[in-house]
Amino acid sequence: MCYKPLRCPDTHMKKSFIAVVTIRHLLWCKNLFIIFAISYLSVMLKKKIIIAIDGFSSSGKSTMAKVLAKKIGYAYIDSGAMYRCVTLYCLDNHLIVGDKVDVDKLITLLSDIKITFKVNASTGASETYLNGVNVEHEIRQMRVSEKVSIIAAIPEVRKELVKQQQAMGRDKGIVMDGRDIGTTVFPDAEMKVYVNASPATRARRRFQELCAKGSTSITFDEVLKNVCERDRIDQTREVSPLRRADDAVELDNSNMTPAEQDEWLLNLYNKIIS
């Protein structure tokens, strides 16, 4: 007679228990993976937009644009720095005498002007390079500020720099500030802000900034005069004058702290992308 070996009930139950636990563990891991994948894709697929911030000189638009770009992981482009680079190039190459610019010669040299932005590894700030040389400090000096609006009013200069700016925003995910970003450079930008403040407020900010950088040869009245003159030139030039885009949200930050304006801007961004 052939006898089948007896199966131990305890061993069978133990194996069944292990199998059930293993299946439940696998299902739990699967669900966890799905949740993680959905969260990851929602972040990766979040709609990137173009943020255009326009406004008067010394209105604080560049500062707030930098802060916002860093918070949301976007690239920051200072379009004003590009015009300052061209101005510095003209000053250093004697293309400006008084308020007169040798426009014909400048046009022939535009292709020689290479402007790039690089992040400073130690500070995390974006810095401006002109033909491979860091000019972040030089382009902020008064001798450049006094002439930049004249250079920015030259149609050929604007045409060339607008073309470069549009190329920078081809893949979106950028914050760009200037005078005509929402009206000319990116008229279809998903978020447009127009920053304003009184001339006296803006002159005070600019004067304090210059003093903090060690400038002692400039007076407040000279800065105020420069701010008002730049306003006049920026608003009356024939090509791409400074104006508020019809669909831009205006921000008067005359009585706001930097933290308050940063919060306002971030809230607007979150509202637009939600």
Mean of the per-residue pLDDT values for the chain?
87
Q: Are 105 and 96 in contact (CB under 8 A)?
A: no
Q: Is the pLDDT of residue 6 over 60?
A: no
pLDDT at 44: 44
pLDDT at 7: 52
Q: Percentage helix, strand, coil, to 5, in the chain?
A: 55, 15, 30
Say how far apart CA 177 and CA 184 lie, in whole Å: 12
**CATH homologous superfamily, domain 47-273:** P-loop containing nucleotide triphosphate hydrolases (3.40.50.300)
* Better-predicted residue by pLDDT, 23 or 203: 203
pLDDT at 215: 80
Q: Which region among 22-36, 58-72, 244-258 has the lowest average model confidence (pLDDT)?
A: 22-36
List pLDDT tens digits, range 50-72: 999 999 999 999 999 999 999 99
Q: Is the pLDDT of residue 3 over 70?
A: no
pTM, full prediction: 0.74
Q: Is the pLDDT of residue 244 over 50?
A: yes
* Phi, psi of 102, rounded to the nearest 5 degrees: -80, 80
Residue 100 CA, distance from chain mean position: 32
Average pLDDT estimate for 133-143: 94
Q: Are 186 and 52 in contact (CB under 8 A)?
A: yes
List pLDDT tens digits, range 148-168: 999 999 999 999 999 999 999
The domain limits of the chain are 47-273
Q: Is the pLDDT of residue 47 over 90?
A: no
